[in-house]
Structure 1
Amino acid sequence: MRMAIRVVQGLIVLLVLALLAGTWWYVPGELKQRPLLAGTSEDASVRQGERRRHYVLYLPAHPAERPALLVVLHGSGGNGERMRRESGYRFDALADRDGFLVLYPDGFEGHWNDCRKAASYSARRLNIDDVGFLSTMIERLQRERGVDPQRIFVTGYSNGGQMALRLAAEAPDAVAGVAAIAASLPSAENDACRPAQQPKATLLMNGTRDPINPYAGGRVTLFGFGNRGTVLSSGESARALARRNGVNAAPSLDRLTSVGPVWSERQRWGAAGMAPVELVTVHGGGHLLPQALYRPPRLLGEVDPELDGPAEIWRFFSELSR
């Protein structure tokens, strides 16, 4: 009997160790290298109604005379500082090179109030005015930092990407373009926002093996748990955005990285005088912002080792400026 008990206890210990090893392997991310940055970051807050909202502002050492502003929105459960880290500080490094400012605001209790009806987090339940918050922050930086109102761009990851799409639809005059990573347009029955009334330059960057936001469209879950409603496929999302912008022609296609287990290509819908739409497809990629300096949690899937996602996003925005 005692021998049987010891065997069971040993099996339990082995199971716990296996679970711990699996958790260590799949769950945490790792900053492999922090780049040397010339600028400085400011942690601050601003009052919005009865609430105080926090943000991080990165200021390059040599800002342009009328700098552009890039707003970077984190994913579910994150915050601005974590988004800096999880993007490998690449947006900050690009800001050092090109002299723009980078704003990393915090969502409400780790989330943004995006357009998806089925979302159940507090920002959605309480109908937090994130469009108002972000618009106020943009206006403040125009006034206090001399930001060029014609060069204000917003990008976001996951829930932050959904929020960027909402901002483009409901505050189009505030931004010149948006980029959504690991996010697609909500389907009609899951869309709580007003329809977009103005064309807006948009980039989507999605992985074909995303375990959360399905590339082929369908229900968004957190690894099978919860329900944030359905979304269009990445291709349908891009085509719908192109039609909104008045572009009905077939897209051009460019390969961005070498074909391999995970590789990327870009489709572009555009016409003279029309706001462009781009879809960067990461074949074999997961729920990720591709870059080389931060290793994301393995349970989110594979990353394209050759694709610099932040640089591709800033390339898109820079071309709008020109």
Structure 2
Amino acid sequence: MVVALGVVPTASAASQATGAVSGVGGKCVDVAGAGTVNGTAVQLWDCNGGSAQKWTVGADGTVRALGKCLDVTGQGTVNGTKSQLWDCNGSGAQQWSAEADGHLKNPQSGRYLDVPGGSTVNGTRLQIWDRNTNPWQTWHLPDGGTTPPDSCAAGLDSGQYNTPVSYAGKTYQVLVHIPDRPAGTRLPMVVNLHGSQSTGQGQLTYSAMATAADSNGFVVVAPTGVVPSGSGYIWHVPYVTPSGTRDDVGFIRQVIDTLTVSACLDPTRIYATGYSGGGRMTSALGCMLPDRIAAIAPVAGIRSGRPDPSGADRPDPASCAPSRAVPVIAFHGQQDATNPYDGGGDNNAWRYSVPVAQQRWAALNGCTAGPTSEQTTTHVRRTVYANCRDGADVELYTVSDGGHTWPDTPHDNGNGTVTHEISANALMWEFFKKHPMPPPAR
């Protein structure tokens, strides 16, 4: 079990406290290459249970791994001084004090163990920095032995409310819906992105996903864009939305990293969906955040990169090149007049067809079987590419009479027929459950 840092452990407890120290993004404090040479970097890495991630919290205020101590390089006291592994010598550079809210202080410098910029890239070297409220200064110590991936600090309370996320020097209020759960249980999360001219609250209402979250035990986060449009906002979709505003890929990465800690999430079960412009943004996240998002489910908005400038009836390969195979389930109405099923339309970002987008994802995922189609209901056809790399299948539900709508929503937005023959929420959740993040390679 892992507990949030509290007071400095007592001798009787601390001498037996050995296990992982985890932080932002659900990643672990790690000794680079399991090296034991003095000066070996102490870094952030995917949690793997190896000896380089087994730390003993000592009664003497030290934090030890591989027989050596977590040390501030050169006994430095300035912001940005890097951490390292060094022979235990009793110096102030090797003293650490745990605070009740999860901070780990080096009293000699008066500064705190910190991840530079909140990066969760493997190999990010840890440092000391002035105390702040960013999640990359929140740590969880072992209380002896094991670190189950489904256990963590209690996290945010259940309910629906706004919670702060800091990004690029600004703080944004992000809407979350958290179901009831046993204390300390890590939950999956679905990032649910609104369509153009809407908001996070509007999307949570329109998709009716809060009910599905309560029934199935997952967190929903519904952030809001910052580019004003109509009565709401649009997303800064890479390559297709005018630049010069918030980097929404970076912002959503920060939302995920912040809530993984503050809301007690399972980092291997983070998913994304969205409607219309939010579906296009969801597709972009599949292209650009495959290290955070396990699978995607665009609704009325599946893309696989921007239209190719040399031929707009196909996607530009350079604009979507994920580092791994990303499972995809999509929903689209054939009577969609906003993002037409067959491509074209008034939107320059929407030129190639929905089947071409699905086919491109199948190629990216290395699928070797399909497409196969079956009529699942009177007006709904399911098309699947299978035998894909890492099991990352690509599914499309086509609604023959469907408009620019969310299947089974109880709300009519005036954009055509809403099918109730299938439920997008139910089908995508069943798909998500089958597709957690694959184990990392090291």
Whole-Å separation in 2 of the counterparts to 1:62 and 1:230: 41
Q: Secondary structure at the match of 1:320?
A: coil
Identify the residue that residue 83 of structure 1 maps to in structure 2. Answer: 203
Identify the residue that residue 308 of structure 1 maps to in structure 2. Answer: 423
Q: How does 1:266-305 map to 2 (within 5 A)?
A: 266-271=382-387, 273-297=390-414, 300-305=415-420
Q: How does 1:212-223 map to 2 (within 5 A)?
A: 212-219=338-345, 221=346
Larger helix share, 1 or 2:
1
Query: 1:143-166 CA distances to partner (integer Å, 9 max, x unpaired)?
Result: 122211110000011111111111
Q: Quote how far apart the aligned CAs of 1:193 are.
A: 3.6
**Structure 1 residues 66 and 47: alpha-carbon distance in aligned structure 2, compared to 1, 3 A threshold:** closer
Residues 375 and 381 in structure 2, CA contact (< 8 A), matched pair in contact too: yes
| % identity of equivalent residues | 29
Residues 246 and 274 in structure 1, CA contact (< 8 A), matched pair in contact too: no
Whole-Å separation in 2 of the counterparts to 1:231 and 1:201: 23
Q: Which sections of structure 1, spanning at least 5 residues, go unmatched?
A: 1-38, 222-226
Which residue identity does 1:112 align to in structure 2? W
Which residue identity does 1:85 align to in structure 2? T
Residues 383 and 397 in structure 2, CA contact (< 8 A), matched pair in contact too: yes
Identify the residue that residue 433 of structure 2 maps to in structure 1. Answer: 318
Q: Secondary structure at the match of 1:136?
A: helix
Q: Secondary structure at the match of 1:68?
A: strand
Residues 115 and 162 in structure 1, CA contact (< 8 A), matched pair in contact too: no
Identify the residue that residue 168 of structure 1 maps to in structure 2. Answer: 286
The answer to whether residue 348 in structure 2 is matched with residue 228 in structure 1 is yes
Identify the residue that residue 113 of structure 1 maps to in structure 2. Answer: 236
**Structure 1 residues 140 and 292: alpha-carbon distance in aligned structure 2, compared to 1, 3 A threshold:** closer
Whole-Å separation in 2 of the counterparts to 1:145 and 1:230: 36
Q: How does 1:102-251 map to 2 (within 5 A)?
A: 102-109=220-227, 110-117=233-240, 119=241, 124-185=242-303, 186-189=306-309, 193=319, 195-219=321-345, 221=346, 227-251=347-371
Query: RMSD of the alignment, in Å?
Result: 2.1
**Structure 1 residues 51 and 77: alpha-carbon distance in aligned structure 2, compared to 1, 3 A threshold:** farther
Identify the residue that residue 179 of structure 2 maps to in structure 1. Answer: 60
Q: Quote how far apart the aligned CAs of 1:276 are.
A: 0.7
Q: Quote how far apart the aligned CAs of 1:269 are.
A: 1.1
Whole-Å separation in 1 of the counterparts to 2:302 and 2:218: 27
Identify the residue that residue 7 of structure 1 maps to in structure 2. Answer: none
Q: Quote how far apart the aligned CAs of 1:204 are.
A: 1.6
Whole-Å separation in 2 of the counterparts to 1:202 and 1:256: 18
Which residue identity does 1:195 align to in structure 2? A
Q: Quote how far apart the aligned CAs of 1:50 are.
A: 4.3
Q: Quote how far apart the aligned CAs of 1:296 are.
A: 2.1
Query: 1:125-177 CA distances to partner (integer Å, 9 max, x unpaired)?
Result: 32421111111111111112221111000001111111111111111101100
Q: Quote how far apart the aligned CAs of 1:194 are.
A: 5.0
Query: 1:207-231 CA distances to partner (integer Å, 9 max, x unpaired)?
Result: 1111011101123x3xxxxx43343
Whole-Å separation in 2 of the counterparts to 1:54 and 1:132: 16
Q: Secondary structure at the match of 2:260?
A: helix
Which residue identity does 1:229 align to in structure 2? A
Q: Secondary structure at the match of 1:250?
A: strand
Larger strand share, 1 or 2:
2
Residues 179 and 213 in structure 2, CA contact (< 8 A), matched pair in contact too: yes
Q: Higher Cα Rg: structure 1 or 2?
A: 2
Q: Secondary structure at the match of 1:175?
A: coil
Q: Quote how far apart the aligned CAs of 1:58 are.
A: 0.2
Query: 1:104-134 CA distances to partner (integer Å, 9 max, x unpaired)?
Result: 00111311111353x4xxxx33242111111
Q: Which sections of structure 2, spanning at least 5 residues, go unmatched?
A: 1-157, 228-232, 438-442
Residues 169 and 198 in structure 1, CA contact (< 8 A), matched pair in contact too: no
Which residue identity does 1:283 align to in structure 2? S
Which residue identity does 1:59 align to in structure 2? I
Residues 184 and 231 in structure 1, CA contact (< 8 A), matched pair in contact too: no
Matched residues, number: 265
Q: Secondary structure at the match of 1:174?
A: coil
Q: Secondary structure at the match of 2:265?
A: coil
Identify the residue that residue 17 of structure 1 maps to in structure 2. Answer: none
Residues 339 and 350 in structure 2, CA contact (< 8 A), matched pair in contact too: no
Whole-Å separation in 1 of the counterparts to 2:409 and 2:330: 19
Whole-Å separation in 2 of the counterparts to 1:248 and 1:116: 29
Identify the residue that residue 94 of structure 1 maps to in structure 2. Answer: 212
